[in-house]
Amino acid sequence: MASPKAPIPGFIFIFISIFGEEGGIQSYGQDWLRAYQRLLPSLGPTLPSYVLILRDRGTEANPFRGQPHWFFQGYKSPIPQWERATFTLGVLWHLLRHRPQRLFCGHINLLPLVAPLCGWLGIPYTVLTYGKEVWEPLPPRQQRYLRRADRLVTISRYSRDRACQANGLDPQAFALVPCGVDGDRFCPGDPNPELVQRYGLQGCRVLLTVARLWPGDIYKGVDVTLRALPQILAQEPTVKYLVIGRGDDQPRLQQLAQDLGVAQRVVFAGFVATESLPDHYRLAQGYVMPSQEGFGIVYLESMACGVPVVAGDRDGSADPLQDGRTGWRVPHRDPAAVAQACLALLRGGDRRCDPHWLRQQALAHFSPDALAHSIRPLMTQDRGRSAP
Residues 229 and 328 in one domain: yes
Count of domains forming the chain: 2
What's the distance, CA 313 to chain centroid? 18
Q: Which amino acid is at 165?
A: Q
Assign 1 a pLDDT band (cuts: 50, 70, 90): very low
* Calpha distance 383→381 (Å, rounded): 7
Residues 357 and 374 in one domain: no
* Calpha distance 268→130 (Å, rounded): 28
What number is the average pLDDT over the span 104-118?
94
77 has a pLDDT exceeding 80:
no
Percent share of the chain, pLDDT over 70: 90
Main-chain dihedrals φ then ψ at residue 259, nearest 5 degrees = -65, -30
Residues 171 and 213 in one domain: no
Contact 214, 245 (CB under 8 A): no
Residues 132 and 216 in one domain: no
Residues, the chain: 388
Residues 164 and 210 in one domain: no
Mean pLDDT of the chain: 90
Residues 108 and 205 in one domain: no
Residues 150 and 276 in one domain: no
Q: Is 201 helix (H, G, I), strand (E, B) or coil?
A: coil
Assign 133 a pLDDT band (cuts: 50, 70, 90): very high
Residues 171 and 320 in one domain: no
In a domain, 60, yes or no: yes
In a domain, 4, yes or no: no
* Calpha distance 62→30 (Å, rounded): 10
In a domain, 71, yes or no: yes
In a domain, 187, yes or no: no
Comparing 66 with 108, the larger pLDDT belongs to: 108
Strand order in the sheet with 174-176: 69-71, 49-53, 11-15, 102-105, 125-128, 151-154, 174-176
What's the distance, CA 127 to chain centroid? 16
pLDDT digits (tens, 9 = 90+) for 315-340: 999 999 999 999 999 998 999 999 99
Residues 152 and 214 in one domain: no
Residues 35 and 106 in one domain: yes
What Rg, from alpha-carbon coordinates, does the chain have? 23
Comparing 132 with 253, the larger pLDDT belongs to: 253
In a domain, 256, yes or no: yes
Q: What is the pLDDT of residue 18?
A: 86
Partners of residue 267 on adjacent β-strands: 242
Q: What is the pLDDT of residue 81?
A: 62
Q: What is the pLDDT of residue 56?
A: 78
Q: Domain holding 353: CATH number?
A: 3.40.50.2000
In this prediction the pTM is 0.90
What number is the average pLDDT over the span 170-193?
96
Q: Which domain holds residue 229?
A: 193-366
Residues 131 and 275 in one domain: no
In a domain, 1, yes or no: no
Assign 52 a pLDDT band (cuts: 50, 70, 90): confident
Residues 197 and 328 in one domain: yes
305 has a pLDDT exceeding 70:
yes
